[in-house]
A and B are shown apart, each in its own frame.
Chain A
Amino acid sequence: QVQLQESGPGLVKPSETLSLTCTVSGGSITPYFWSWIRQPAGKRMEWLGRIYSNGNANYNPSLGSRVSMSVDTSKNQVSLRLRSLTAADTAVYYCARDNPDFYYYYMDFWGKGTPVTVSS
């Protein structure tokens, strides 16, 4: 069974950069897409972007150039970087595997999420 575990700092200061890692166990990160999603308290989920195991990524335009993602196939990890943080970036951050059969668009495995608070 594929399992995903998000990790990173729970507290980050405004204007700084958030770095999160998603470690995949029970399966390979290749050849799949991996998405990052976040959910602020009391709000709906927001998709941040996705990256394919070869490193090709596309991002939610709402984030502009603040977001980037990367993969490390040797460690079976996917990473998220979000720059210039504000309080509005406070949320629970999730990673998920998406589009596993390259036809239907769904996310079949998710992590439990990691909470991130942006505060000085």
Chain B
Amino acid sequence: EIVLTQFPGTLSLSPGERATLSCRASQNVRSTSLDWYQHKPGQAPRLLIYNASSRAAGIPDKFSGSGSGTDFTLTISRLEPEDFAVYFCQQYGNSLFTFGPGTKVDI
């Protein structure tokens, strides 16, 4: 099973600042299988990035993804109040989806 680690656990920032979130895999992950989601309490998780760097439909370009192999990054260029949430990465490998523990972005 591929284990995903995310850091930092919590990122305390202010509106207008840039957020850089990391996701590290215990073994190589195919880029076609690495995704990022935003999750707010009581809401459905929202797909932001798939294929490591492709924005999902309707996702603004302030969200960008990069990386390959075992190291992946989600960047939010300028935080707005609605961006404060938990972000988690996900991968599909060996016929199994696994998830990172999440990074909480708060004020």
Interface centre among B33, B42, B45 (most CB of A within 10 A): B45
Interface status of B47 (Cβ within 8 A of chain A): yes
Task: Report B91-107 CB contacts with A as 1/0, cut-off 8 Å.
Answer: 11001111111100000
Select one of A35, A104, A111 contacting B97, CB under 8 A: A35
A113 with B50: CB separation less than 8 A: no
The reply to whether the CB of A94 lies closer than 8 angstroms to some CB of chain B is yes
Name 23 A/B residue pairs within 8 A (Cβ), A-sorted.
A37-B99, A44-B99, A44-B102, A45-B90, A47-B97, A47-B98, A60-B96, A61-B96, A94-B44, A96-B45, A99-B92, A104-B32, A104-B54, A105-B32, A105-B35, A105-B97, A106-B47, A107-B45, A108-B57, A109-B44, A112-B43, A112-B44, A113-B44
Q: Across the A-B interface, how many residue pairs have beta carbons closer than 8 Å?
A: 63
Q: Contact: B47 with A108, CB < 8 Å?
A: yes
How many angstroms from the CA of A41 to the CA of B45 in the assembled complex? Answer: 16
Is B51 among interface residues, defined by CB-CB distance under 8 A? yes
The size of the chain B interface, using a CB distance under 8 A, is: 27
Chain A's interface size range is 20 to 34
**Assembly CA distance A113 to B41 (angstroms):** 10
**Is B19 positioned at the interface, with any CB of A under 8 Å from its CB?**
no
Within the complex, the shortest CB–CB distance from B100 to chain A, in Å, comes to 7
Q: Which residue of the partner chain B has the closest CB to A113?
A: B44
Q: Which of A46, A61, A111 contacts B99 (CB 8 A)?
A: A46
Q: How far is the CA of A112 from the CA of B43 in the complex (A)?
A: 5
Contact A45 B33 (CB under 8 A): no
Does A110 belong to the interface (CB within 8 Å)? yes
